[in-house]
Structures are given as C-alpha cells and as structure tokens.
C-alpha cells in the first residue's frame, strides 16, 4: 500500500479545459458514467467507459507514472476480480466487473485531481444543503468527504509503517501483527484528527 | 489572558475505583506574553494546555480565556485560540498545503478566491510559498510543523497554545520553529521539554504528577524541575 501517494483526492494544478470546467459539469459527467456502467451490461460498455476515463485522464494531463503507481492497489484488486470472475463466470463477466471498477476509479481520480479540495468542499456543501432540513449540517457532510479523500494516502502510509514494524520483529507473515496495530492506530489517528479539527474550530 | 480558577480534570476509573485525577485544581492568571509549561511525560502538561481552549473540559472549577468562559463559549474561544500539536500529521487534514491553510479560514472568509489569496500569503510568511500545491504527505516533518503553524497563524489568534511543537523535529527545524514562536504577536503558552525554550519564556509552570508544583521566573523554575527529576 505504500507503493506511492494515491492520486485520489490529490489536486493537480493545471489549466486544461477539464480544470476550467464548472465542478457541476464534471460531477454530472461522473454520475452519468456511473449510471451507464451500472445500467448497461456487457464487457464492451465497461471497456468503453474505461476508455473514456483514461481519455479524460490524458486530457487533464495527469502524470502517467504517478497515476498508475497511485492506482496500484486498485489495479491489483481489479486484476484479482477479473481472474476470479473469468474462472467462475467467463471472460465477459470478468472484463465487465473489473472494467466497471477501474472506469469509476479513474473517472473519480480525474474529478478530484482537477478540483481544489476547497472548491470541492463548497460544491458539496451546496449540493447537500437540503440535508439541513433533516438536521444534518451540510458543512459537516462536505468535510467528512474531504477528510475521507485525505485519509486514503494517510492510511496507506500508516499501513506501511505497521508492516515495517512487523517485518522488523520478524512477524511479516502474521495477519494479527499487521491488522491489530493497524486498526488501533487508525482509531487513535481518528481521535487525534478529531481533536485537531475541534482545536481549529471546524465543526463548532 | 488565561485564567484558571480551581480548574482541574478527573476521569472515571475504568476499573471502577475512585476517579483518576489527571490535573489537580489549579488557580492562576496567565497574562505574560510567553508562558512555558514543563514537566515529565504524563505529568499533566497537555491536559493543562487543552483546558485553555476546551479540548479537555474542566471537571472542576472554571477556565476563562480571552475574557470568555470556556465551558459556555467554547466555539468563540477556539476562534481566538490557536493550537499546535506535537504531531503535525494529525493536524493537517487537507491534501495540499494551501488547501489546509484555506480550511482554517473557512469560518472567517466566505469567498473561496479570497481564502486562496490569504492562504498563500500565510504560507509565504513562513517561507512555504513554493510548497503551496505540494501534497501534505510529501513534506518533511519540519515543513509539516511549519504548515500546521501557518494554518493556525492565518486566523490571527490572540492566544497560541503549542503542545511540544518541536519534539519530533531535528535541530535545524527546531530552531526555525523556535524563532517563529519567538516572533508571534499572540500570547504564547508553550508546553515543552526544551529547557532552553522554557528559559526564554516570561514565566514557567512546573507540572508534576498531575499538579502545578511550581510557578515563577524561568531560571529558578527550570532548576527546580531539574532537581525534581534528579530525585526520581
């Protein structure tokens, strides 16, 4: 997991038309793509959606090596899913399921990489404003999403530290030596981040 | 100005015994520009620091910061009190440096473009202008602590509480952060193990085993602390 910083959630400054397009247009395109991959069945639709996602990444001028490195864990997951589904249900289902996953992750990466988090927060806050009627603060919801994006690489780093510590003690093959400290440190980190947010007056 | 009026903190004993005292009631008025808090690990220093902005509510007594009761005006107090943690990784929550500073300004500056300009200016003041778009996780430990400080100082706090801000830093970055803290206009409450930094304060509190055991001039307080540790 420490194969490099994930691009998901990381803004890449740029001047391409995707960077300049209104956030609402980019999010709407992402939603349409998501609906298409869910509603339209078959491997060719998935591969076309993946092609569109990759084309958007090229148009947004995302750095190829960093993007592929950042998506490494997702690529491995997609490969494992493709192999399993091909074995169980045939190549077309394997290609469809893994293609859908990759298409959505690549498209999501393009949206977050072309949108400053501050703008994303404002957009999300506006979008979920109706939740206020249900007693849910829109700012809190938007902040939770932004925090989740920042947490992806942070948890990757944390897992790398835990894995190194286990390796140093000769416990690299013990799932317990990896998962227990990882879970404890993740909860500990969440509590500290909560304190830090409160100290900054965020959520007051 | 920070006023502690018999302010103390206790927590229930998980084993079911009587409450555990994290900080015995303290009464003092801290009006000096630089106040240092020194003491051993686990002595109650951080608890004392967290009382100031209500991160740790007092279970006895009262805390008044900037003229406001922390128990009843916590949100207003936190808008006037900046807090810097030991580990900046816990404090930095946005993907890039400029976005993290902008997050601090969301409450006071509604316009995103203006926030961005102010955030970049705050970074430039601390020599981080070239790292504005750098992912937070790609910064060094020292740069992260500077960024945490930039995010706090961007809001122009009246009081700055720093909980061991240089503990994780090497000598070079320690000096950079020390110099910055020496120059801030806000009242500074510095929790530290760095006795040189404590000596530069106007007043020093010594905390030991959950109590403020000494309070006075820096040189005498540092000597008192060293003597205290010698007996352990």
Quickly state the pLDDT bin for A204 (edges 50, 70, 90).
low
**Quick one: DSSP state of residue B137?**
G
The Cα–Cα gap between A10 and A102 comes to: 18
Query: Does residue B86 belong to the interface with chain A, where contact is any CB pair within 8 Å?
Result: no
Contact list, A150 vs chain B (CB under 8 Å): 93-95, 136
Does B91 contact A9 at a Cβ distance shorter than 8 Å? no
pLDDT bin (cut points 50, 70, 90) of residue A203 is low
Interface test with A, best of B77, B93, B123 (most A CBs within 10 A): B93
Tens of pLDDT, residues A148-159: 777 777 787 788
Q: How far is A180 from chain B (nearest CA, A)?
A: 20
Q: Closest to B137 (Cβ–Cβ): which among A5, A147, A197?
A: A5
Going edge to edge, which strands form the sheet with B60-65? B20-30, B2-11, B60-65, B68-69
Residue B78: its chain A contacts at CB < 8 A?
Answer: 198-201, 204
Q: Which of A196, A201, A204 sits opposite B91 (nearest CB)?
A: A196
From CA A191, how far away is CA A186, in angstroms rounded? 9
Assign A12 a pLDDT band (cuts: 50, 70, 90): confident
What is the arithmetic mean of pLDDT over A128-135? 82
Q: What is the pLDDT at residue A9?
A: 60
pLDDT of residue B170: 85
Closest CA to B143 of B161, B157, B123, B160: B123
A6 has pLDDT over 60:
no
Chain B interface, mutation test: which of A114, A199, A203, most B Cβ atoms within 10 Å? A199
Closest to B93 measured CA to CA, from A71, A123, A6, A195: A195
DSSP string, B91-120: H--SSBHHHHHHHHHTTT---HHHHHHHHH
Are A189 and B115 an interchain contact pair (Cβ–Cβ within 8 Å)?
A: no
Contacts of A190 in chain B (CB under 8 A): none
Minimum-distance CB partner of B55 among A122, A150, A195:
A195
- Note the pLDDT tens digit of each residue in A173-188: 888 888 899 999 888 8
Q: Which of A9, A150, A200 shows the shortest C-beta gap to B104?
A: A200
In angstroms, what separates the C-alpha of A183 from chain B's closest C-alpha?
16
Q: Express the helix, strand and coil content of chain A in percent, nearest 5 each.
A: 80, 0, 20
Q: Give pLDDT tens digits along chain B (232 positions).
A: 999 999 999 988 887 788 889 999 999 999 999 999 999 998 999 999 999 998 899 999 999 999 999 999 988 898 899 999 888 887 888 878 998 898 888 888 888 889 999 999 999 988 889 999 888 878 888 899 999 999 999 989 999 999 999 888 888 888 888 888 988 999 999 999 999 999 999 999 999 999 999 999 999 999 999 999 998 7
B129-151, pLDDT tens digit by residue? 999 988 887 888 889 999 999 99
pLDDT of residue B117: 93
Mean pLDDT throughout A10-26?
Answer: 87
Is some CB atom of chain A closer than 8 A to the CB atom of B117? no
What is residue A130's DSSP assignment? G
Q: Residue A7 pLDDT > 80, yes or no? A: no
Chain B interface test: which of A23, A122, A150, A202 (most B C-beta within 10 Å) = A150
What pLDDT, on the 0 to 100 scale, is given for residue A1? 41
pLDDT exceeds 90 at position A123: no
Measured between CA atoms, the residue of chain B closest to residue A201 is B78
**Is the CB of B134 inside 8 Å of chain A's CB atoms?**
no
pLDDT of A4 higher than 80: no
Tell me the shortest Cα–Cα distance from B208 to chain A, in angstroms. 24
> Min CA distance, A150 vs chain B (Å)?
5
Give pLDDT tens digits for B192-222.
Answer: 999 999 999 999 999 999 999 999 999 999 9
Largest Cα–Cα separation, chain A: 54
Beta strands in chain B (DSSP E): 2-11, 20-30, 34-39, 60-65, 68-69, 81-84, 159-163, 187-191, 203-208, 211-216
Residues in CB range of B192: below 8 A, 6 or more apart: B36, B37, B38, B162, B164, B165, B166, B198
Residue B125: count of CB within 10 angstroms of its CB:
13
Could you say which DSSP state residue B181 is in?
H
From the CA of A85, how many Å to the nearest CA of chain B? 35
Predicted-complex ipTM score:
0.73
Residue A90 tokens, joined = 């045939």
Q: Select from B81, B116, B138 the Cβ nearest to the Cβ of A5.
A: B138
Question: What is the rounded average pLDDT of the residues A166-174?
Answer: 82
CA distances, B199 to each of A10, A128, B34, B193, B220 (Å): 42, 51, 10, 11, 9
Instruction: Enumerate chain A positions whose Cβ falls within 8 A of a Cβ in B.
Output: 5, 9-11, 13, 116-119, 121-122, 146-147, 149-150, 153-154, 157, 189, 192-193, 195-202, 204
Per CB-CB distance under 8 Å, the chain A contacts of B81 are 199
User: Measured between alpha carbons, how far is residue A138 from residues A121, A126, A129, B31 in Å?
Assistant: 10, 8, 5, 39
């Amino acid at each position: 997991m420490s194969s490099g910083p994930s691009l998901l959630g990381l803004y890449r400054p740029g001047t391409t038309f995707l960077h300049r397009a209104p956030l609402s247009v980019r999010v709407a395109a992402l939603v349409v793509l998501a609906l298409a991959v869910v509603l339209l069945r078959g491997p060719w639709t998935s591969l076309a959606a993946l092609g569109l996602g990759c084309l958007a990444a090229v148009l947004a001028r995302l750095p190829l090596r960093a993007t592929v490195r950042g998506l490494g864990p997702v690529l491995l997951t997609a490969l494992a899913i493709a192999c399993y589904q091909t074995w169980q249900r045939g190549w077309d289902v394997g290609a469809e399921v893994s293609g859908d996953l990759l298409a959505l992750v690549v498209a999501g990466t393009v949206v977050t990489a072309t949108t400053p988090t501050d703008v994303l927060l404002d957009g999300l806050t506006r979008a979920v404003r109706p939740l206020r009627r249900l007693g849910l603060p829109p700012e809190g919801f938007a902040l939770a999403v932004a925090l989740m994006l920042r947490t992806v690489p942070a948890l990757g780093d944390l897992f790398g530290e835990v894995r190194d510590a286990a390796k140093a003690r000769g416990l690299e093959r013990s799932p317990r030596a990896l998962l227990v400290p990882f879970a404890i440190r993740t909860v500990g980190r969440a509590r500290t981040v909560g304190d830090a947010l409160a100290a900054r007056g965020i959520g007051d | 100005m920070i006023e502690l009026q018999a302010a103390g903190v206790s927590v229930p004993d998980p084993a079911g015994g009587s409450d555990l005292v994290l900080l015995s009631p303290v009464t003092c008025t801290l009006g000096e520009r630089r106040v240092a808090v020194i003491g051993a690990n686990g002595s109650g220093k951080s608890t004392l620091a967290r009382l100031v902005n209500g991160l740790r509510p007092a279970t006895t007594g009262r805390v008044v910061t900037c003229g406001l009761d922390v128990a009843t005006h916590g949100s207003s107090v936190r808008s006037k009190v900046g807090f810097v943690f030991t580990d900046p990784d816990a404090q930095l929550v946005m993907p890039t440096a400029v976005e993290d500073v902008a997050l601090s300004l969301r409450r006071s500056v509604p316009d995103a473009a203006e926030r961005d300009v102010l955030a970049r200016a705050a970074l430039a003041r601390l020599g981080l202008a070239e790292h504005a778009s750098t992912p937070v996780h790609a910064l060094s430990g020292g740069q992260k602590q500077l960024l945490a400080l930039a995010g706090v100082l961007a809001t122009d706090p009246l009081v700055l509480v720093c909980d061991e801000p240089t503990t994780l830093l090497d000598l070079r970055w320690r000096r950079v952060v020390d110099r910055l803290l020496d120059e801030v206009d806000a009242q500074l409450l510095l929790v530290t193990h760095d006795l040189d930094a404590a000596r530069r304060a106007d007043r020093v509190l010594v905390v030991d085993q959950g109590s403020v055991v000494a309070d006075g001039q820096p040189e005498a307080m540092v000597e008192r602390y060293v003597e205290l540790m010698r007996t352990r």
